[in-house]
Amino acid sequence: MTSMIEPEVRRILAAAPHFAGRYLALVAAADGDPGSAATFVELADYATDLVAAVERHRAPLVACLAGLEEVAAGSDNAEALVVWAFCDSLSPDDLRRLEPWLGPRTKALLDDVDRSPTT
């Protein structure tokens, strides 16, 4: 079956492996190769779903990190809670993904810890 797939569809499947499940469902619904046009229509639906998920969760994420920033700016326990409990619980990749939404005090606390001679 792989030899029947158009090169453009192969490129999409190689670049976006998470799309493969939807592509295979499309193949099953078409009882064979759905063709590149139908695949790209499904790809558009898939991309729209991804964007919708990001948008659906943006407001709660912003609110969560705004609360974190309030603690970072106003708590005597800011370093322990924000840096060591919250940020240290995140993987480095997750922390990098959250970085654009972290407030200035939260970033300053992280910078202070990074510059600390004990780290």
For residues 9 and 84, what is the distance between their CA atoms, to the nearest angstrom? 45
Residue 113 in contact with residue 77, Cβ under 8 Å? no
pTM > 0.85: no
Could you please report the per-residue DSSP string of 5-17?
S-HHHHHHHHH-G
Q: Mean pLDDT throughout 63-86?
A: 96
In the chain, where the domains are located: 2-115
Q: For residue range 36-66, what is the model confidence (pLDDT) as tens digits?
A: 999 999 999 999 999 999 899 999 999 999 9
Please state, for a pLDDT cut of 90, what percent of the chain lies above it: 89
